[in-house]
């Protein structure tokens, strides 16, 4: 079998999505829908994918270039006149390479993201050098799909669109999922013969089935169909179907991870984007979202309700419930949360502790240091073995610029202190609770900056006596 070229149709607007975003760019597990469809055809062995674009073509092309580079080519269909017309645009596109290609052309739909590469490979193998092969499926409710009409031997002789079906044909539950393999020379000839004398006034790609069936002379060139699993052939026309498809693809990701040794307590309630990596023996509790490109190390535990995006969690780390983190790294055996917020550029070293209601941003925290309770550390450089007490604030912003706070190894910052950056607290130094530190603190020193305490004996009852008559 010669190498295949794929054509993926994605020119439609997706009106039923009722969305500003083009249908094929709606994200599913962190990737635009069209990435899934194009990934499948390339993984199936197609040398190139020619994507037919039209509606919002600049955005669709940019999204595809970003992931697939030169492995995708584009054909423009300005005026959508049907799926047959769309494939004609692909054949005529100068850099698609289909003008004189006589090998297999794998045609699929950009809104059919669940199909697996191995299924497409099976279709390519079954079709071989025949003019026309297709996937097929059976549906209890075939509404909206083209129906397969078969001869006495069960060979497909035509695909009838719903709107062109007679009452008898409407009842057929054997449907066209919209995935085909068509030999290049036959494709060009049959496309040129398409007519739009049908209920929708369109050029139907599906008419190729009847053309191939009529031209067949024997077993080796008759139409073949490969029955497919429903879960793979689901198309997305509206948001409800998008949700269904998302669940199918998420289940697939989670199953693969679980088989690889990841402890996923409740797969239906665990949301992991396709480009995340989770090591064996890591645990993910219900309600966890891993977005973008997270990497979770072996033995790490991401507990209930954590939402992480582009976060690296090293081996043995524990993210307690409801930690929210972006573009950050968590070192081995570190403990974070519950209810912590790691903003971009937070780099937590080994055995670091960041406790409840703490916010970190663009701060490196060295081994064994602790930021335990209700603190804000932004634009910081924190050494090893540092203790940042409850309610400490790094005052990093003067209204114009951000400044750095540096805490050297072993520094101890008492609770409720404010460190007004730029400022450095030297190694082993103490800052007394409730201090406002505006000047550098030398190593080994104690900084206190608060009014001396005065106790006025008996003041409280005198005050009460004075206030009483006024009530």
Residue (of 23, 26, 30) closest to 9 by Cα position: 23
Q: Does 97 bind Ca ion (CB under 5 A)?
A: no
φ/ψ of 162, rounded to 5, equals: -50, -45
Residue 373 appears among annotated catalytic residues: yes
- Contact between residue 294 and residue 276 where contact means Cβ atoms under 8 Å apart: yes
In this chain, which of 80, 97, 128, 235 binds Ca ion, going by CB under 5 A? 235
The span of 62-70, 94-102, 203-211, 241-249 binding ligand UD1 (CB under 6 A) equals 203-211
Between 235 and 287, whose beta carbon lies closer to Ca ion?
Answer: 235
Rounded to the nearest 5 percent, the helix, strand and coil shares of the chain are 25, 30, 45
Q: Which residues contact 434 (CB under 8 A, 6 or more apart)?
A: 414, 415, 416, 417, 450
As a whole number of angstroms, the distance between CA 82 and CA 49 comes to 20
Rounded Cα–Cα distance for residues 78 and 268 (Å)? 41
Residues of span 209-238 touching ligand UD1 by CB under 6 A: 235
- Residue with the two structure tokens 């004398």: 197
Q: Which is nearer to ligand UD1, 86 or 300 (CB)?
A: 86
9 contacts ligand UD1 (rule: CB under 6 A): yes
Buried b (16+ CB within 10 A) or exposed e, 436-456: ebeeebeeeeebeeeeeeeee
Total of chain residues touching ligand UD1, rule CB under 6 A: 27
Q: Which of the listed partners (ligand UD1, Ca ion, none) does 360 bind, with a CB threshold of 5 to 8 Å by partner kind?
A: none
Binds ligand UD1 (CB under 6 A): choice among 91, 115, 123, 205: 205
Encoded tokens for 345: 């550029």
**Is residue 381 within 8 Å of residue 407, measured between CB atoms?**
yes
Is 49 among the residues that bind ligand UD1 (CB under 6 A)? Answer: no
Catalytic, out of 35, 301, 341, 373: 373
Length of the chain: 471
Task: Decide: is 206 part of the binding site for ligand UD1 (CB under 6 A).
Answer: yes
Q: Which stretch binds ligand UD1 (CB under 6 A): 80-88, 320-328, 384-392, 418-426?
A: 80-88
> Per CB under 6 A, which region of 75-83, 277-285, 316-324, 420-428 contacts ligand UD1?
75-83
Q: Is 158 in the site for ligand UD1 (CB under 6 A)?
A: no
Q: Is 27 in the site for Ca ion (CB under 5 A)?
A: no
Residues that bind ligand UD1 (CB under 6 A): 9-12, 52, 77, 80-83, 85-86, 109-111, 145-146, 159, 161, 175-178, 204-206, 235
The residues annotated as belonging to the active site are 373
Residues that bind Ca ion (CB under 5 A): 235
């Amino acid at each position: 079998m010669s190498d295949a070229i794929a054509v993926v149709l994605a020119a439609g607007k997706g009106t039923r999505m009722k969305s500003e975003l083009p249908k094929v760019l709606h994200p599913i597990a962190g990737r635009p829908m069209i990435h899934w469809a194009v990934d499948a055809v390339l993984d199936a062995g197609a040398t190139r994918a020619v994507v037919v674009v039209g509606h919002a073509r600049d955005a669709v092309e940019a999204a595809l270039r970003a992931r697939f580079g030169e492995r995708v080519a584009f054909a423009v269909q300005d005026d959508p006149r049907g799926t047959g017309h769309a494939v004609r645009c692909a054949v005529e596109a100068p850099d698609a390479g289909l003008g004189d290609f006589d090998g297999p052309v794998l045609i699929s739909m950009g809104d059919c993201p669940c199909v697996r590469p191995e299924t497409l490979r099976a279709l390519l193998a079954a079709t071989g050098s025949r003019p026309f092969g297709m996937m097929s499926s059976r549906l209890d409710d075939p509404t909206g799909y083209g129906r397969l009409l078969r001869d006495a031997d069960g060979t497909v002789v035509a695909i009838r669109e719903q709107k062109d079906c007679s009452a008898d044909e409407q009842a057929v539950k054997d449907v066209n999922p919209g995935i085909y393999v068509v030999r290049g020379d036959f494709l060009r000839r049959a496309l040129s013969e398409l007519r739009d004398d049908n209920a929708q006034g369109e050029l139907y790609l599906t008419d190729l089935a009847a053309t191939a069936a009529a031209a067949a002379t024997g077993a080796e060139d008759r139409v073949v169909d490969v029955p497919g699993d429903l879960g793979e052939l689901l198309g997305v026309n509206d948001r409800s179907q998008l949700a269904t498809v998302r669940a199918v693809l998420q289940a697939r990701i989670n199953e693969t991870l679980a088989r690889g040794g990841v402890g996923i307590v409740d797969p239906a309630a665990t949301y992991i984007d396709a480009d995340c990596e989770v090591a064996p023996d890591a645990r993910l509790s219900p309600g966890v979202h891993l977005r973008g490109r997270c990497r979770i190390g072996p033995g790490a535990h991401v507990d209930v309700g954590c939402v992480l995006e582009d976060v690296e969690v090293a081996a043995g780390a524990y993210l307690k419930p409801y930690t929210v983190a972006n573009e950050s790294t968590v070192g081995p055996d570190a403990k974070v949360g519950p209810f912590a917020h790691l903003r971009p550029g937070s780099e937590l070293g080994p055995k670091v502790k960041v406790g409840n209601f703490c916010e970190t941003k663009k701060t490196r925290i060295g081994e064994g240091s602790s930021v335990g309770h209700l603190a804000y550390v932004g634009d910081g450089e924190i050494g090893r073995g540092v203790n940042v007490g409850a309610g400490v604030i790094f005052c990093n912003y003067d209204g114009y610029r951000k400044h750095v706070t540096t805490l050297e190894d072993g520094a101890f910052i008492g609770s409720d202190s404010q460190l007004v950056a730029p400022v450095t607290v030297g190694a082993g130094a103490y800052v007394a609770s409730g201090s406002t530190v505006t000047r550098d603190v030398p190593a080994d020193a104690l900084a206190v900056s608060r009014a001396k305490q005065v106790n006025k004996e008996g003041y409280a009852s005198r005050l009460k006596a004075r206030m009483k008559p006024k009530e």
